[in-house]
């Protein structure tokens, strides 16, 4: 079942779609999806719609929603900040839990800038079951600058706002990009993490996988990584999209099975081990294989 839903954050109403499996089950697991920069709950080539339906068909309750100033939600895009999106993600998780008292596990999925927002959110949620990032931003200011360009950023700093592809960007947004550090946030989240990135991504480099891996290794935390060979930033080929969904779902299923039994150094991917001395020298540029 798919239901239009809304919830309030401050003075703004955020709107989304709640996907509920047809078969009821005791002890339900849920997924919250965070869209990226100038995005919405539908996503390019409807990737979030298809992802939500795929996960729902597998028995998961899924919430995909629009951040304020995006999609159908209240607010102006010129007012968005990363801190605001973190607060809205926290509100989305709380709304989801209140909508179904049987939910006992919650996974957070974010794409691009939404991946960074998800990481920043994860460090503040003690009982989050797992974090999944698709093609995530790592160094927020530099990565978004690489997409938007110096001319737009300079204009925002000089005049306070500037239009980018029909979306107004404000100076508070740029300041929030400077102030928030998702690479540090993933060090503070002790739960399992999966990062999926395409090797053909020309918007956000798949080298961000290396940044996140090195960051997690420093504090000996569990992480899994999967590269989709040749895939672009939004996984626009149906085969890339299917691979992202399959790997994500398999990883989530293994997290559920191992919940409470997996040490912080142990991988949640089938057949994979956690970080040891040998793993520190393994190349990240070889995709994980599934059993």
- pLDDT truncated to tens, each residue of the chain (291 aa)? 999 999 999 999 999 999 999 875 545 899 999 999 999 999 999 999 999 999 999 999 999 999 999 999 999 999 999 999 999 999 999 999 999 988 999 999 999 999 999 999 999 998 899 999 999 999 999 999 999 999 999 999 999 999 999 999 999 999 999 999 999 999 999 999 999 999 999 999 999 999 999 999 999 887 899 999 999 999 999 999 999 999 999 999 999 888 654 444 445 544 332 333 233 223 333 333 343
| 270: Cα separation from own chain's centroid | 21
Is 55 inside any structural domain?
Answer: yes
Residue 30 three-state SS: strand
Q: How far is CA 137 from CA 54, 56, 143, 238, in A?
A: 24, 26, 6, 23
Quote the CA–CA distance of 277 and 70 in Å, as a whole number.
45
User: Tokens 């020309």 sit at which residue?
Assistant: 202
CATH of the domain at 232: 3.40.50.1820
The DSSP letter of residue 200 is T
Is 102 inside any structural domain?
Answer: yes
Is 208 inside any structural domain?
Answer: yes
Beta bridge partners of 72: none
Residue 45: its pLDDT value, please? 97
The DSSP letter of residue 27 is S
Is 291 inside any structural domain?
Answer: no
Residue 96: its pLDDT value, please? 94
**Counted domains in the chain:** 1
Residue 24: its pLDDT value, please? 54
Residue 220: its pLDDT value, please? 85
Residue 240: its pLDDT value, please? 98
State the DSSP H helix or E strand holding residue 17, giving kind and residue range, or none if neither.
strand 12-19
* Residues listed for the chain: 291
Is 32 inside any structural domain?
Answer: yes
Closest to 93 in 3D by CA, of 174, 16, 145: 16
Domain of residue 44, residue span: 2-281
Residue 222: its pLDDT value, please? 75
Is 262 inside any structural domain?
Answer: yes
Give the E-state strand segments of 88-215 in sequence order. Answer: 103-111, 130-134, 161-164, 167-170, 193-198
Residue 22: its pLDDT value, please? 85
| pTM for the whole structure | 0.89
User: Tokens 């994980």 sit at which residue?
Assistant: 288
Is 217 inside any structural domain?
Answer: yes
Is 290 inside any structural domain?
Answer: no
Residue 158: its pLDDT value, please? 97
Q: List pLDDT tens digits, range 33-50.
A: 999 999 999 999 999 999
Bridge-based pairing state of the strands 167-170 and 161-164: antiparallel
């Amino acid at each position: 079942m798919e239901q239009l839903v809304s919830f309030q954050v401050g003075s703004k109403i955020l709107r989304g779609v709640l996907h509920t499996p047809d078969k009821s089950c005791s002890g339900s697991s849920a997924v919250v999806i965070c869209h990226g920069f100038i995005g919405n709950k539908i996503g390019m080539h409807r990737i979030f719609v298809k992802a939500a339906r795929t996960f729902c068909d597998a028995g998961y309750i899924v919430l995909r929603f629009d951040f304020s100033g995006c999609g159908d939600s209240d607010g102006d895009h010129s007012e968005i900040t990363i801190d605001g999106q973190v607060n809205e993600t926290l509100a989305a998780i709380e709304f989801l839990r209140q909508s179904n008292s049987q939910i006992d596990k919650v996974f957070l999925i974010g794409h691009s800038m939404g991946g960074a927002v998800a990481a920043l959110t994860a460090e503040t949620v003690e009982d989050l079951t797992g974090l999944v990032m698709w093609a995530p931003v790592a160094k927020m200011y530099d990565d978004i600058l690489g997409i938007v360009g110096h001319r737009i950023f300079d204009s925002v700093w000089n005049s306070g706002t500037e239009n980018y592809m029909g979306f107004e960007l404000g100076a508070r947004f740029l300041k929030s990009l400077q102030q928030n550090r998702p690479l540090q946030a993933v060090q503070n989240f002790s739960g399992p993490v999966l990062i999926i990135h395409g090797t053909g991504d020309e918007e956000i480099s798949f080298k961000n996988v290396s940044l996140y891996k090195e960051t997690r290794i420093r504090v000996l935390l569990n992480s899994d990584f999967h590269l989709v060979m040749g895939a672009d930033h939004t996984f626009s080929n149906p085969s890339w999209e299917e691979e992202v969904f399959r790997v994500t779902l398999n990883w989530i299923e293994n997290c559920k099975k191992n919940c409470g039994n997996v040490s912080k150094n142990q991988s949640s991917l089938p057949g994979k081990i956690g970080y040891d001395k040998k793993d520190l020298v393994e190349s990240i540029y070889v995709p994980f294989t599934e059993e």
